[in-house]
Amino acid sequence: MQIKPDLTPILEHYGVNVIDKHGWVACKCFLHDDTHASAAYNLDMQLYNCLVCQILGDSIELVKRMERLEFKDAKRKAEAIANGSNRKVLQRNHT
């Protein structure tokens, strides 16, 4: 399983004041000139959603859209922004 860069440092990099809270948290979208909170993020699911931009994505997708990069370059940049803060997912062994 591939581990993606944590969403929190990506959001902070683009100016979102991240609130560490469960569920969806409303925020202004940094992908367009937002005057109202038309976007939301979910740190538990590691997803970002903007109703105006019609984007639902993870940390790599956000960097890809914001920087207009191809996937591999966006992944590299997201990893650099996150600076090694990848959140590891533990898998249980079924016995």
Burial code of 1-11, b = ≥16 C-beta within 10 A, e = fewer? eeebbbbbbbb
pTM assigned to the model? 0.81
Are the C-beta atoms of 85 and 6 separated by less than 8 Å? Answer: yes
- As a whole number, the mean pLDDT across the chain is 86
pLDDT 10s digits, 69-89: 999 999 999 999 997 544 433
Q: Please count the other Cβ atoms lying within 10 Å of the Cβ belonging to residue 48.
A: 27
Give me the pLDDT at residue 23, please: 95
Give me the pLDDT at residue 1, please: 59
